[in-house]
Amino acid sequence: MIRVVETATVPKTRVAGWFLAALPGGETEPIAGRIIEVPEVLERFEMRDARSHFIAYMPPGSVEQGRQLANTGGNGKSAPCTICHGPALNGVGPIPGLAGRSPSYFVRQLYDFQHGTRAGPRSPLMAPNVIMLTLDDMVALAAYAASLPP
């Protein structure tokens, strides 16, 4: 489970294996358009507790910006995500659900679609929908999708 928190400042983090962990001491830094995902309880995650939850820190206003883009396509920037992924972004048939996904994972997928490194059978369907997205658009879409129940 991922809890989305919109904020201008985030905990300072360290790389701990293949993930980020908040540094002890409570120091913060500006989010600066980034996504910062950290385990809510580091020890539970390190013990591989399948019920570990994450906090996804996102830039202020990103959830609403992503909601608008997902539902409208952003005035021709893209097609509305809801057309293929469903009104609640839970997927339709073979089209995957996006709701509740890790925002970092989500942005990586959009970026890979945009740059042609995703080569699955349905990848060509995504290419024209992501070509005009900025990184900020991708972050906003990821924030919105992560904020929805899976």
CATH number at residue 139: 1.10.760.10
Tens-place pLDDT, residues 115-134: 999 888 888 999 999 999 99
Same domain, yes or no, for 6 and 79? no
Shared-domain flag, residues 88 and 70 = yes
85 with 140, same domain: the answer is yes
Residues 50 and 67 in one domain: no
Asked if residue 50 and residue 69 are part of one domain, the reply reads no
Structural domains in the chain (count): 2
Do 28 and 14 lie in one domain? The reply is: yes
Is residue 37 pLDDT above 90, yes or no? yes
pLDDT at 120: 86
d(CA 73, CA 113): 17
Range of the domain at 101: 62-147
Q: Are 127 and 71 within one domain? A: yes
Same domain, 42 and 75: no
User: Rounded to whole angstroms, how far apart are CA atoms 57 and 139?
Assistant: 11
Shared-domain flag, residues 39 and 67: no
| Closest to 21 (Cα-Cα) out of 52, 59, 61 | 52
Band of pLDDT at residue 17, cut at 50, 70 and 90: confident
Whether residue 129 sits in one domain with residue 75: yes
Instruction: Quote the CA–CA distance of 84 and 127 in Å, as a whole number.
Output: 14
In a shared domain, residues 80 and 129? yes
